[in-house]
Amino acid sequence: MREHLCGIRTAWTVVATAAGAVAEVAAGIGPSRLSHLLVFFSPDYVVDDLSAALKDAFPGTPITGCTMSGGICPAGGLERGLVVVAFPAKGFRVVSAILDAIDHLDVARTASSVRALRRVLGAESPEPAPSRRFALSFIDGLANAEETVVSAIAWALDGIPLVGGSAGDDLHFRETVLLHEGAIHRRAAVVVLVETEYPFQIFKSDHFEPTTTKFVVTASDDEQRIVHELNAEPAAREYAMAVGLDPEALTPMSFAAYPLAVKVGGEYFCRSIRRMNDDGSLSFFCAIDEGVVLTLAQPRDIVETTRSELARLDAALGGIDLIIGFDCILRRLDAESRQVRHGICDLYRRYDVVGFETYGEQYRAMHLNQTFTGIAIGRPPAP
For 192-228, write each residue's pLDDT tens digit.
999 999 999 999 999 999 999 999 999 999 889 999 9
pLDDT tens for 224-250 read 999 999 999 999 999 999 999 999 989
- % the chain with pLDDT above 90: 86
**What does DSSP say about strands 208-221 and 63-67: parallel, antiparallel, or unpaired?**
unpaired
DSSP string, 86-112: EEESSSEEEEEEEE--GGG--HHHHHH
Euclidean distance between CA atoms 55 and 53, whole angstroms: 5
pLDDT(127) > 80: no
Q: What is the pLDDT of residues 168-191, one digit of tens each?
A: 999 999 999 999 998 999 999 999
Instruction: Give the CA distances from residue 317 to residues 4, 275, 325, 375, in Å, rounded to whole numbers and listed in that order.
Output: 15, 39, 16, 12
| Res 123: pLDDT | 63
Reading phi first (left if > 0) and then psi (alpha if -120 to 50, else beta), residue 122 is in alpha
Q: Report how far residue 112's alpha carbon sits from residue 11's, in angstroms, rounded to the nearest whole number.
A: 34
Predicted TM-score (pTM) of this structure: 0.93
The predicted structure's pLDDT at residue 130: 60
For residue 346, the model assigns a pLDDT of 95
Which pLDDT belongs to residue 124? 59
Residues in CB range of 320: below 8 A, 6 or more apart: 310, 313, 314, 351, 352, 376, 377, 378, 379
| Nearest-angstrom CA–CA distance, 363 and 322 | 18
| Contact (CB, 8 A) for 32 and 86 | yes
77 pLDDT tier (thresholds 50, 70, 90): confident
| Residues 249, 184: Cα–Cα separation, whole Å | 38
CA 101, distance to chain mean position in Å, is 20
Phi/psi for 116 (5° steps) reads -65, -40
Q: Which helix or strand (DSSP H or E) is residue 157 part of?
A: helix 146-157
Tell me what pLDDT residue 116 has.
94
Q: Who's near 264: CB < 8 A, 6+ residues apart?
A: 366
pLDDT in tens, 329-361: 999 999 999 999 999 999 999 999 999 999 999
Please determine, for residue 129, whether its predicted confidence score (pLDDT) is greater than 90: no
The Cα–Cα gap between 324 and 355 comes to 5
pLDDT at 128: 54
Q: Element (H or E) spanning 334, and its range? A: helix 329-337
**Nearest 10 degrees: Cα torsion 234, 236, 240, 242:** 50
Distance CA 370, CA 383 (A): 40
Name the least confident of 7-21, 89-103, 258-272. Answer: 258-272
Query: Please, what's the largest Cα pairwise distance for the chain?
Result: 64
Q: How confident is the model at residue 280 (pLDDT cuts 50, 70, 90)?
A: very high
pLDDT > 70 in the chain, percent? 97
Over its C-alpha atoms, the chain yields an Rg (Å, rounded) of 20
Q: What is the pLDDT of residue 180?
A: 97
First to last CA, the chain: 26
Query: Are the C-beta atoms of residues 323 and 352 closer than 8 Å to each other?
Result: yes
Which has more confidence, 111 or 267?
A: 111
Name the pLDDT band for 31 (thresholds 50, 70, 90).
confident
Phi, psi of 136 (to 5 degrees): -120, 140
pLDDT score of 246: 93
Kindly give, in sequence order, each residue whose CB lies less than 8 Å from that of residue 24, ignoring residues fewer than 6 positions away: 11, 13, 15
Check whether 71 has a pLDDT greater than 60: yes
Is 382 a residue whose pLDDT tops 80? no
Q: 380 pLDDT band (50/70/90 cuts)?
A: confident
Mean pLDDT across the chain, nearest whole number?
93
For 300, the enclosing helix (H) or strand (E) is none
Q: What's the pLDDT band for 121 if we cut at 50, 70, 90?
A: confident
CA separation for the pair 257, 175 (Å, rounded): 25
Note the pLDDT of residue 126: 54
Mean pLDDT computed over 367-373 = 94
Cα angle vertex 292, ends 335, 145, to 5°? 70
